[in-house]
Amino acid sequence: MGTHRDSPAARAALGRVVVSNDQIARRIPELARQIVAAAGDGDDDIVLIPVMTGAFIFAADLVRCMPVRMRITLATISSYPGTSTTSQGIRPLGDLPGNLKGRRVLVVDDILDSGRTLNFLREQFMAQRPAWFATAVLLRKTIPPAMSTPCEFVGFDIPDEFVVGFGLDYDGCFRNLPEVRVLHPEGRA
């Protein structure tokens, strides 16, 4: 993976597969159909807002299964900087998308755990009065904050473990794994 030998990512150990690539490949088209049906017909494009950088792989696969006109604009948010394995709070890294009044808006994120990112973005974007608003995540942890956070489309519910792969990272590494796996940051398997 090109990690430096002394980096935390180099010392980390991959654990069991939580969601396989085959499971993901079957679920994403189902989610896309559900989203398109819920968004309904409209005279305008769907505005898809992936949360970078974690959601880029999920969003890319999702949009290829959505046969509708859409615009894609990014929201860059930091909540797990570097080697952190718990959310450190929400920090937008640049301007958030605007001009959403009367639009159909879908926010796409990689994982729902604390709920802070989706709650923050929902508040920011709903203030712009979109015609339709929904969120989609690949993964949702089965913990109270995640389960109580509104999210219209969920790929998979998973246990409360630190995971990487399919866009999720640890210290910038492991995003390219084709499946979602448990990560042991201290190197214990």
Phi, psi of 170 (to 5 degrees): -135, 115
- Strand pairing partners for 139? 111, 156
Residue 132 neighbours by CB under 8 Å, 6+ apart:
38, 39, 40, 42, 103, 104, 105
Residue 10: both structure tokens together? 């180099």
β pairing state of 13-19 and 180-184: antiparallel
The rounded radius of gyration (Å) of the Cα atoms in the chain is: 16
Active-site residue, from 113, 157, 160, 171: 113
Task: In whole angstroms, give the CA distance from residue 24 to residue 178.
Answer: 9
Q: Active-site residue 6, yes or no?
A: no
Q: How far apart are the first and last CA of the chain?
A: 18
**What are the residue numbers of the active site?**
113
